[in-house]
Structure 1
Amino acid sequence: MPVHMSESSQGSRGKGAGLGLALASALAFGGSGVAAKPLIEAGLDPLHVVWLRATGAAVVMLPLAVRHRYLLRRRPALLAGFGLLGVAGVQACYFAALSRIPVGVALLIEYLAPALVLGWVRFVQRRPVSRAAALGVVLAAGGLSCVVEVWSGLSFDVLGLLLALCAACCQVGYFVLADQGSDAGEEAPDPLGVIAYGLIVGSAVLTVVARPWNLHWSVLTGSAHLNGATVPAVVLLAWIVLIATVVAYVTGVLSVRRLSPQVAGVVACLEAVVATVLAWVLLGEHLSAPQIAGGAIVLVGAFIAQSATPAKGSAEPVASGGPERQLSVPGTSA
C-alpha cells in the first residue's frame, strides 16, 4: 500500500534539501579565493583567473547547453541576463572595486545583496516580507562586517564603492533570475540549461574585459604555493572550475528554486565565513576574536532567515519554499 506524504511533510523536505544545497553552494563558492590566491601570487592576473574560471566551467557545461538548446528560443532574455549579471557582472564589478577599495569593504557591500533582495520582493514584487527574514538579513550583515573587519581598512572612494554596489546589484540579479519559472511546473526552464548558457554568455563578456590573449599560460604548467606546500597550478585551476564554479552555481540555483531568493541570499553570506575559515586553515591567515564572533552571528542570522515562515494569510511564501518549489524543477528531484 503506497504511503502518501502530507503537503507539509513534502514542504519540510523540500526546504531541508534547499538549505543543504544553499550551504553546499556557500562552501563551494567560499573555496574559490583560497585556490585563486596562490595562482595570482604565481603570476596570473586576477581577471585572467576569473576568465579561466568562467570559460572552463562553460566548457564543462557545454553538453548540457546542447541538450537544452531549446532555451535559446524560449528564454533568450533569461539566459542573457543570468550570464551578464550572475556570472560576468558580479565578478567584473567586484574585481574592479578591489582595485580601489579594501577587500573587506568591497565584500561587505557586495553582501548587502540579501537586503536588496528583500527590497525587491517588498517594493517591486509587492509581496510581504516576514520579520524573521528581515532580522536574519540585519544579523548576517552585522556579523559579516566583523568577519571582514571592515573597520581596519575604511577608506572613501566613490567610484570603488559604486562598483562594489554594482556587484551587489548583480548578485541580486543572480538570485532573482535563478528563481525565474520556479512556480511554472513542467514549463519551468531547466536550471542546468540556464546555468550552462549563463556561463557561456558570462565567458564571452569576460573575454572582452579580461583580454586573455595576454594571459601568462606558462604559470599553469608550473606550481603554486599553498601555505608552504607546493601544489600543481592546474590542480588549483581544476578546483576553481569544477567545485567553486560548476558545483557552486548548480547547487546555488537549485537552492533558490527550493527556498526563495531572499532566504538563499542570506545563507549565501556564509560564503564569506567559509572563505575566511579556509584562508585561516590553508593559507595561515589567522582569525581574530571579532571575526570568530562575526561568523557566529552570520550563522545565527542565516538560521533565523531560513526558519522564517510566511506571514499569516499570505498567498505566497516570502521566506521559505513550499512543496510547489520542491516539485517545480523537472528532473532534479534526485
Structure 2
Amino acid sequence: MRRSASTGVVLILAASLFFGVCGPFAKSLIAAGMSAVEVTWLRVTGTGLILMVAAIPAARRMIAERRRPPLFPLIGFGLTAIAGVQLFYFLAVARLPVGVALLLEFTGPILVVAWIRWIRRVRLPHTAVAGALLSLAGLAFVVEVWAGLRLDTLGLLAGAAAAACQAGYFLAGERLTAQVGTPVLLAAGFGVGILALAPFAQPWRTDWSLLDGGVAMAGWSPPGWVVLAALVVSTASAYACGLPALRMLSAAVAGGMAYTEVVVAAVAAWILLGERLTGWQMFGGLLVVAGVFTAQRAVATREPDPVRAAG
C-alpha cells in the first residue's frame, strides 16, 4: 500500500471516530431541552469559527497568489455537504424511526459508487463495491432497522436527500480539496452552512441558560457548555481528518470506510449514555468492520480503468 494511501486510511478512520462520538454529545444536549436543529446550528457555528481561524494563513496565501476560489462550487458544498446532510437527516428523524433515517442517510456511499461507475464511467475495484454493500448490510443490524418500522413519504424523501448530500460530501470534497485546499474549503463550507441553517434554528430564540445547567450522561452531569465544546471540537477534528483523506483515497473507498462511524456511535452511546448494545447490533458491527476491511483492500489496487463507451 502506498504511504499516502495508508495515511488516507488512518485519516478516514480517525474522522469516523470523531464523527461517531458526536452523536452521544448531541443527544445529551437535546435531552437537556434544546431542539435538534438548535444543537445542529450551534455545532456548525462553533466548528465553523474554529475552521475559519485555522484557514487564515491559507486564505492569505491565496490572496497573495491572486488565486480565485471556485465560488459556486464552494457555495454548493456548504449547502449540501455541511447544511443539507444535517438538516435533511433531522427532517427524516422527525417522521421515521432513527434507525431507518440513519440507514437512508448512509446509502450515500452506495450513491457514490453508482455515480463513479455509471456517470463518470470509471471501473471500480470489486473490493470497493463489495465493502460498501457489506457495510450497508451491517448498518441495518446496528440500527435494528426492523424495530418500530413505519413508512412516511416525506420522511423517506428527506432521508434520500440526506443520502444525496452525503454523497456530495465525498464527491465534491474529492474534487475541491485539490483546487482550494482543505482549510479554505472547510471555512467556506461552514460559513455557508451557518447562514443556511440560521433561519431554521432561529438562534435569537434559543434559551441559552440550558448550557449552564448539568447535562445527564452515564454517571456524571457536566455543564451543557462543556458538552457543546466537546461536540464542536470532535466535529472540527472529524472534518479536518476526513477531507484530506479524500485527496489520498477515492471517494468510493472513503465512503465505504466511513461506515465505521455508525459502529463508533453505538459504542460511544453505550459508554457515555449507558445505552446497551444488543446481540444483533454487535453482529452488525462485525459486518461493518468486515466491509471496511474489504473496502480498504481497494486502496492497494491499481488505479481504476475507464469503462469503454458502449457501441
TM-score w.r.t. the length of structure 1 is: 0.86
| Counterpart-to-counterpart distance in 1, 2:208 and 2:93 | 24
Equivalent of 2:119 in 111, 120, 124? 124
Q: Deviations for 1:92-122, whole angstroms, at most 9, x for unmatched residues?
A: 0000110000000000011111110001101
Pair 1:312–1:217, CA change in 2 (3 A): closer
Distance 1:194 1:206 in 2: 18
**1:230 maps to which of 221, 226, 239:** 221
Give 1:137's aligned residue.
132
**Residue 173 in 1 paired to residue 164 in 2?**
no
The aligned counterpart of 2:242 is 252
Work out the CA distance in 2 between the residues paired with 1:228 and 1:64. Answer: 35
Letter in 2 for 1:226: M
Which residue number in structure 2 is paired with residue 61 of structure 1? 51
- Code of the aligned partner of 1:28: F
Contact 1:100 1:160 in 2 (8 A): yes
Structure 1 CA distance, aligned partners of 2:297 and 2:77? Answer: 28
Larger deviation, residues 281-290 vs 96-105: 281-290
Q: Which whole-Å CA distance do the structure 2 matches of 1:139 and 1:89 have between them?
A: 26
Counterpart in the other structure of 2:273: 283
Q: Secondary structure at the match of 1:127?
A: coil
Q: Which amino acid aligns with 2:202?
A: R
Q: Where in structure 2 are the equivalents of 1:157-236 lying within 5 Å?
A: 157-181=152-176, 188-236=179-227
Instruction: Tell me if 1:267 matches 2:257.
Output: yes
Q: Cα offset for 1:124? A: 1.2
Q: Residue 19 in 1 paired to residue 9 in 2?
A: yes
- Indicate if the aligned counterparts of 2:47 and 2:236 stay in contact, CA closer than 8 A: yes
2:99 pairs with 1:90: no
TM value normalised by structure 2: 0.92
CA–CA separation in structure 1 for the residues paired with 2:228 and 2:294: 35
Residues 1:115 and 2:106 are matched in the alignment: no
Alpha-carbon distance, 1:74 to partner: 2.3
**Counterpart Cα distance in 2 of 1:165 and 1:67:** 37
Residue 78 of structure 1 and its aligned partner are, at CA, apart by 2.5
Specify which of 47, 55, 78 is matched with residue 73 of structure 2.
Answer: 78
CA pair 144-189 structure 1, distance change in 2 beyond 3 A:
same
- Preserved CA contact (<8 Å) 2:5 2:299: no
Please give the alpha-carbon distance, in whole angstroms, between the structure 2 residues aligned to 1:66 and 1:308. Answer: 36
Tell me, which stretches of 5 or more residues in structure 1 are unaligned? 1-10, 317-334
The match for 1:305 is: 295
Secondary structure class of the residue paired with 2:222: strand
- Residues 122 and 305 in structure 2, CA contact (< 8 A), matched pair in contact too: no
Supply the RMSD in Å over aligned alpha carbons: 1.8
Give, in whole Å, the separation in 2 of the partners of 1:201 and 1:131: 37
Q: Contact (CA 8 Å) 1:51, 1:206: kept in 2 or not? A: yes
Q: How far 1:315 sits from its partner (Å)? A: 4.5
